[in-house]
Structure formats: C-alpha cells, structure tokens
Structure 1
Amino acid sequence: MTAADRLRNTMSSCGSMVSWLSARHDPAARMRNVDLIAVLVAVLLPWSTSGVGIGMVLWLAALATTLELRPFLHSLKRPICVLPIALVALAAMGTLWSDAPWSARTYALSPATKLLVLPFLFYHFERSTRGMWVFIAFLASCTLLTVASWIVAFDPSLSLKAPGEPTGHGIFVKNYIAQSQEFVLCAVVLAFPIITLLRDGKVRQALLLALVAANFVVNMVFVVVSRTALVTLPVMLAVFAMAHLKWRTNVMLLVVAAVFGALAWTVSPQLQATTDKFARDYRVYKEFNQPTSIGLRLEFWEKSLRFFAEAPVIGHGTGSTRGLFEAAATGPAILAQGQVIGNPHNQTLNVAVQWGTVGVVILYAMWLSHFSLFRGEGLAAWIGLMVVLQNMFSSLFNSHLFDFHEGWMYVLGVGIAGGMVLRARSGDAESSGTTRP
C-alpha cells in the first residue's frame, strides 16, 4: 500500500468518524436511528426471541437520546399509558401478598413488564414519520417465513428447531401457534390496502397484495394452522367486512367464504385433522380422563375459577398459580386432574387468579382504551384495531398478552400504530385550528 493509499484510508476513516459524531448531535439522525432499530426488531420478531430482547434494549437506549422529559411525562397521563403501567404496578405489588417462592414471584412478574414499553412507543411514533416502515418490515419478514415454512413442509430436516424438539409440520422456527398468529394478522391487515387500491383503480398493486395475503392463507390451509387462529380469523374478517364493505358485498363474500372454506376443508388433510381434533380431544378427555389440549384447558379453567372465588378481590398474588394447581392436583400426573401448570391458558383467568377483580378490571380497561384509540379511518388505525382484536380473542384460549411472542406483537403493534394515529389526529387538530386534548 502506497503512502497515498494510506492517506486516503485515513481521510476516509476520519470522515466516517466525523459523520458519526455529527449524527450524535443531529436530532434528525438520532430519530432515524431509533426508527431503524424498530425496523430491525420487526424483522427479527418472527424468527428470534433473544434478538427481539436485545433489539428492544438497544431501541430504548437510542430513544433515551431523543427523549424530551416534560412532553414525555405529560403523555403518560393518557389512559392508554396509565392502564398498562397500572397493570404492571399491580403485578409488582402482588408479590407482597403471594405465598409463592420469590423466584416464582419475579418470574411471573417478568412477562407483564413488556407493557411498560407501550408509553415509549406511543411517544416516539407520535413524533416519527416512519412508523409504516416497521409494519412493512414485519410483513416482509413474515412473507419470507412462509417460504421457509413451505420448504420445511417438504423437508422437515431443514428446520432450525433445537435437536430433540418436535419440529412439527412446516415449522422452521418457534412454534405453530406463534406462526399462525403472524400469518393471520398479516392476511387480515392486507385486506384494507387491497380494498383501498381497488377503489382507486390500482388493480395491479391490489392483485400483488392479494397474492401475498393468499400466500399466508394457503400456507395455513395446507401446511399448519393453530386452532386459535381458526377461531380468530373469521372474527377479524367479520369486523373488516362490517367496517369497510356494503351489506350486499358482505352477503356475497359470506357465500364465497363458505364455499372456499368447505372446499379448503375437503382438499386439505391438515385442516381436516385440525378441526377433527376438537371433538376427538374432548371425547378422550371426558371418557378416559386423558390430558388432551381441550381437556386440559377445561380442567385448568374450572380450577382457576375456583381459585378466583377463594380470593376474588386482589387474588392470591403474583406467581401463586403453580402452587395452587399443585395443591389441587388429584391422581397421577398422566391424568388430566393431576396436571400442574403455572398458566391457565386464558388471559382473564391468569390475571384473576393472581390479582383478582382489580386486575381483571384494569386488564379490560386497558384493552378497551387501546381499542377505542383505533376508532377511525386509515391504515394505521386498522392495523392497531386488528392487533387489539386478535389479542383479545386469542387470549380466550391462551395468555397471549403475557406470552413472549404474541405479547410483543401486541406491544409493538399497538404502540407504533397508536403513535401514528395520535400524530395524525394532532395534525388534523392543528390544520383545523384546534388544540389537541
């Protein structure tokens, strides 16, 4: 290397350092960095658990360089921020009256703490103009995951699941419940821009998005789908139809959906097996006391209601669930009545057992406050509405708000879409000459 080359390299390095230092003092660059980390987290969410955790820590650190304390504290007064904070605070206080070991109390508190990120997301994406970047990144990542799912469906040995862990049919990473949640959300959310593009006469763009949405649906029909997704998908589509389509169109789509559903069930062995498993699991549980999926849920729910009745106001405390199930277990562990669990597979009962009626009231007030935030027009409002709706209905069969993957889907979806909606409303208020409430 000549002296001239070394000089050019040194100058280039100095230039890069100067650019980095200037970015540290450039508010626009700092905001962009926060947005890009959020995009990275969205890309990682369908694939990695540890990546999301590390990414969110980096996101909060980057956000701290842009945070203006007084406006942020003022934003915390809104119910959409107060209620998730209140639920986490109740969970923290619940450790004081729990009889569980402290390790169990802190372990049970951890899943709720992700809700504390919501106020930061609302605050940042009310200022940022790049919220849609995050959703596009998530859609692209989920689309890539369908490709991996199709590949693994034909060759299960290519799955990245840990050795000895059941890979399932068409599961590349994580599990079929998380994958189904992602695919359902993407497919339903795409319905809004597809209809909008068709109304604007942009048929090619609408067909392209329709193909992407169809890819998610076909994968669930022929590869793998969770029973929770089978329940939530029709509900979400019904809400879309009632909100955005005329009644005649709804009738026509209902007929088409019925025909398509019957045809899909006829030609898809995977879908037949999933739906047939409902009745089979219930029969095996009732007749032979075997721990099937549906049977265990019924067993967990019945016992949880009894635990709730024993402490209806403030519950048994954080982390108490497993100990209660251990005390209530009867018979050997291979039978349904002998099963012990720390999660009753229902978000309401999960909260009710630990924090009683107080916790349930805060939980539903939070859900409803977030639901009401997304009343209105626009893609961001539609995304947020579907995220809340999916979480509420899927939480009838799982504790999805506290589960890692589905919980972060809720926090990121509601936080980013909520910030975008708040920004749009602020702009409308300023253009009309009114002040924001």
Structure 2
Amino acid sequence: MGDEIGEVIWNGAKQETFHADKNINPLMRNRYFEFVAQTQIYLVLAACFSIALSTAFMSLSMGLFVIFWVLSGNFKEKSQLIRIHPGALIAIALFFLYGIGMFYSSASWEMRLSWWFKYHKLLYIPMIISVLTLEKYRNLAFKAFLAGMLMVLAISYLKWLGVVPHKDIGQGYFVFKGRIAHNIFMAFTMYLTLHLAVKSSDVKRWIWIGVSFLAAMNILFLVNGRSGQIIMLVLLVWFFWETWRWKSIQCLTILTVAIGAIYFLSNDLPESRLMEIRQEIMRHDPSQAPTSSGLRLEFYKNAIKLIQQNPLFGGGTGSFENEYRVLAETQKTVSTYVPNPHNEFLLTGQELGAVGLLLLLAFFVVPWSLSYRLATTGKSDEYYGYALRGLVMSMVVGSLFNSLLLDAGEGKFYCVLAGVFLSAYQPTKKQQQ
C-alpha cells in the first residue's frame, strides 16, 4: 500500500516537472527572440547616429545589425514585408545585377567579389524595412541621425573658433568624415531642419531656422567640399519650390543676396571652392598641372569611351580599373590608376551597361514615387516623404560628381536612411493579399 502511494507521488512529481519544463522552454525562447528583435532595432538607431561619425562605427553597427537580424528569425513575416515593398525589391534587384556582372568581368575573381561586396549595403534597405515597423522607432532613428549631425555642426564651429584643436590639411573644419561626406550629410541636415522650421511654431521655428543658417554657412565657407555645396543649393531651391511654389522666388532672391553679402563683406571666412571650378578646368594640363575639376572631366570622357565598348551589358562588376588602365596606356593618359570615374552613373554604365544604368535610375525613381505614398496617419509620416525626397535628390546630385553608392560612408548614409523612411510605406490591401 505504501509502495503504491509512493509510486503515485513519484509519478505526479515527474508529471509536474514535465509540465513545468514544457512551460519554461517556450517562455525562455520567447524572451530570447524578444531580446534579439529589440536589439536589432537599437542597432538601427545606433547606425543612424553613427552616420555622422567615422565609418568604422557605422560598419560595426550595421555588421551587428545583420547578425541580430539573422538570429531574430521570423523570416516568413520579414519576407512578406519585403516581397510587397517596391523599394525593397528594387534594391535587391540592383544588388543581384551587380552579382551577375561578376561572371563576365575582366577583373580577377578577388576584385570581382570585393567590388560586389561593396554593394552589400543595398540589402540594408529591405532588412531595415522588415524590422522598423513601429512609428516610435522610426521617429527615434530620425532623431538619432539629426542628433549626430548637430553634434558635428557644433564641433565644426568650435574648431573654427579655436576651442577644439584642428589640424589644417586644406579641407576646412570637417569633423570625423572628409570634406565630401561632411558637406553632403550637412546639406541634407540643412534641408531637414528647414522642414522642421516650417513644421514648428514660435520659438522652435526660429531655433530650426538658426540651425539651418549655421549649416548653410558651414557648407559654403567652413568646409570646402564642392559636391555638398552644389547639393545644398539644389536642395534649397527644391525646398522653397516644394513649400511655397511660385511664391518662393522672392525668398530665393533675398537668400541669394544675403549669402552674397556675407561672402563679400566678411574677411574671416575661408574662400569657397565652388567659385574655382571654371578656373580649374581652364588651367588643367594633364602632363604638367592637373587640377581636381580637370581630372574629373578627363575621367568622365574616358568612362564614356569605355561604355561605348560594351554598351548593353557593360564590362562587368569590378572591371573599371583594369579597362581604364588599358585605355590610359593606349592614349598616353597621365592617370593610369583610376579606381572609379567619380560618377556613379558612369561607373554603373561601364560595369553593367544600359541594363544596369536603367535599373540604377529605377533605384532612385521608385523611392521618389513612394515618398508621395507613405502612410498618412500623422504629420510625421508626411515629413518622412519630404525627407525621402531630399535624400534621393542629395544622392542623385552627388552621384554626378562622385561614386556615392560605391563609397562606404555615403552609400551607407543613403541605404540606412532610405530604409528608415521607406519603412513608413504601407502597401494596399491588394498587395498585402
């Protein structure tokens, strides 16, 4: 009798233990996936802030993000979000087209793989879209980028004032990034703060106007990156047109006069390199006195000749350096080592031909069209549309003078922020079905 009672108690204890384990395992598993899912979102926020910092911080943030994105699982739901998002699909298509371009490239396989890997940042767009589904995190990501750039703006002025030590290397008072990236990012920041000024009221409006003005002066006079200066002017015109249409002509006239007065009346501000482009082209002598603008013009002409050799499918991913060297030696051009033509459209045209160039244009056109179709549940969503159009315009204009998508800092700047803004897009019910 006692043995039977003991057996019942033992079996009951085993049964309780079994049920307890059954309940604990799913709980632990849920906590694990919740932690990983939350961490990947925080890494997106860190990446947005680190855009303003050195490229190493951005690479670390996005490298960890990719790892946690894989560990978080939930691939069925992620793939569904990606599959119905045109912005995500066009980025994936462009990445795989660069992959196809490896198989007929004239470069070594090491070079082909290296160049294809440079475009892995394109995959950040669909990955961020698949995880940044809540408005609060999207808003935090935007604020993280803005906080990083405001910090850079403050440090740049402190360098100019002599408060922060600065070593002059002829590029102005840039911070963390070189002059090209600094001014491109700052031009986009100026555009964002102008829209924040329009959106705000009372004291906040004047604060954002002041920040926009300081950013513009920083771009024009303190850091001599000409790509960012041109982007700033284009974004200014677009901002006024987008906000006030024909009424903006008067505002633009006043602004032009004000900037001109500051430039000519102040002796303390550095010279703007934007005014030197024409003189550099005229002075350019390939054999004796090459200039920056003259060399770029030389790169463009030779890149077009390379495109004419393989107009439809191009010379393959990573082939530009080799093919340019052969062309330069044939024509006795001074610059025999040119890794890229400093123009993203010419580079893609040389690597992937007309097919790749059309897809690259679609890569910019699709987000632009989607910017008018973002979710309109609140004022912030409308702001993401403005921000996305400014981002696309910054990238397109900058890509006329640099291979921005290829470059690590500028390419990640675009892909990360494009992923953040595009995550506000809501597909139609038909697309969801």
Q: What secondary structure is seen at the aligned counterpart in 2 of 1:326? A: helix
Preserved CA contact (<8 Å) 2:186 2:228: no
**One-letter amino acid of the counterpart of residue 87, structure 2:** I
2:32 & 2:110 partners in 1: Cα distance? 44
**One-letter amino acid of the counterpart of residue 58, structure 1:** L
- How far has the Cα of 1:62 moved from its partner? 2.8
Counterpart position of 1:401: 405
**One-letter amino acid of the counterpart of residue 386, structure 1:** G
- How far has the Cα of 1:128 moved from its partner? 5.3
1:316 & 1:221 partners in 2: Cα distance? 38
- How far has the Cα of 1:331 moved from its partner? 9.3
2:186 & 2:178 partners in 1: Cα distance? 13
- How far has the Cα of 1:368 moved from its partner? 0.6
The match for 1:103 among 110, 117, 125 is: 110
Preserved CA contact (<8 Å) 2:187 2:229: no
The match for 1:264 among 262, 265, 269 is: 262
Q: What secondary structure is seen at the aligned counterpart in 1 of 2:414? A: helix
Flag as ranges the 4+ runs of structure 1 deviating above 4 A.
21-24, 26-31, 154-157, 268-271, 286-289, 330-333, 434-437
Preserved CA contact (<8 Å) 2:82 2:129: no
- How far has the Cα of 1:117 moved from its partner? 1.5
Preserved CA contact (<8 Å) 2:197 2:209: yes
Counterpart position of 1:367: 364
Counterpart position of 1:71: 77
The match for 1:344 among 341, 358, 377 is: 341
2:400 & 2:90 partners in 1: Cα distance? 20
Asked whether 1:384 is paired with 2:381, we answer: no
- How far has the Cα of 1:66 moved from its partner? 4.3
Counterpart position of 2:4: none
Counterpart position of 1:251: 249
1:167 & 1:351 partners in 2: Cα distance? 31
- How far has the Cα of 1:32 moved from its partner? 3.7
Unaligned runs of 5+ in 1: 1-20
TM-score normalised according to structure 1 size: 0.83
1:205 & 1:155 partners in 2: Cα distance? 29
CA 1:67/1:236 → structure 2, altered by over 3 Å: closer, same or farther? Answer: farther
Preserved CA contact (<8 Å) 1:190 1:210: yes
The match for 1:357 among 337, 354, 361 is: 354
- How far has the Cα of 1:273 moved from its partner? 4.0
Q: What secondary structure is seen at the aligned counterpart in 2 of 1:91? A: helix
Preserved CA contact (<8 Å) 1:221 1:264: no
Preserved CA contact (<8 Å) 2:179 2:223: yes
Q: What secondary structure is seen at the aligned counterpart in 1 of 2:358? A: helix
Preserved CA contact (<8 Å) 2:280 2:294: yes
Preserved CA contact (<8 Å) 1:24 1:30: no
Preserved CA contact (<8 Å) 2:313 2:352: yes
Asked whether 1:308 is paired with 2:310, we answer: no
C-alpha RMSD of matched pairs (Å): 2.9
1:82 & 1:217 partners in 2: Cα distance? 35
- How far has the Cα of 1:289 moved from its partner? 5.8
Q: How do 1:78-93 and structure 2 match up within 5 A?
A: 78-93=85-100
1:289 & 1:83 partners in 2: Cα distance? 45
Asked whether 1:37 is paired with 2:43, we answer: yes
1:210 & 1:395 partners in 2: Cα distance? 28
**One-letter amino acid of the counterpart of residue 62, structure 2:** M
Structure with max Cα Rg: 2
Asked whether 1:94 is paired with 2:101, we answer: yes
Counterpart position of 1:232: 231
Preserved CA contact (<8 Å) 1:23 1:29: no
1:145 & 1:157 partners in 2: Cα distance? 12
- How far has the Cα of 1:222 moved from its partner? 3.2
Query: Which has the higher mean CA deviation after the structures are superposed, 288-297 or 185-194?
Result: 288-297
- How far has the Cα of 1:67 moved from its partner? 4.5
**One-letter amino acid of the counterpart of residue 44, structure 1:** S
Q: What secondary structure is seen at the aligned counterpart in 2 of 1:327? A: helix
Preserved CA contact (<8 Å) 1:330 1:338: no
Preserved CA contact (<8 Å) 1:177 1:226: yes
1:45 & 1:150 partners in 2: Cα distance? 19
Counterpart position of 2:176: 173
Counterpart position of 1:6: none
Preserved CA contact (<8 Å) 1:383 1:413: no
Q: What secondary structure is seen at the aligned counterpart in 2 of 1:25? A: helix
Percent same amino acid at aligned positions? 20
**One-letter amino acid of the counterpart of residue 409, structure 1:** F
CA 1:86/1:115 → structure 2, altered by over 3 Å: closer, same or farther? Answer: same
CA 1:176/1:123 → structure 2, altered by over 3 Å: closer, same or farther? Answer: same
2:37 & 2:73 partners in 1: Cα distance? 10
- How far has the Cα of 1:236 moved from its partner? 1.4
**One-letter amino acid of the counterpart of residue 178, structure 1:** A
Counterpart position of 1:46: 52
Deviation string 1:226-262 (CA, Å, 9 cap, x unpaired) is 11122211221222222222522x1221221221231
Preserved CA contact (<8 Å) 1:168 1:176: yes
- How far has the Cα of 1:150 moved from its partner? 2.3
1:208 & 1:22 partners in 2: Cα distance? 48
CA 1:103/1:152 → structure 2, altered by over 3 Å: closer, same or farther? Answer: farther
The aligned length equals: 399
- How far has the Cα of 1:299 moved from its partner? 0.7
1:120 & 1:156 partners in 2: Cα distance? 41
- How far has the Cα of 1:271 moved from its partner? 6.0
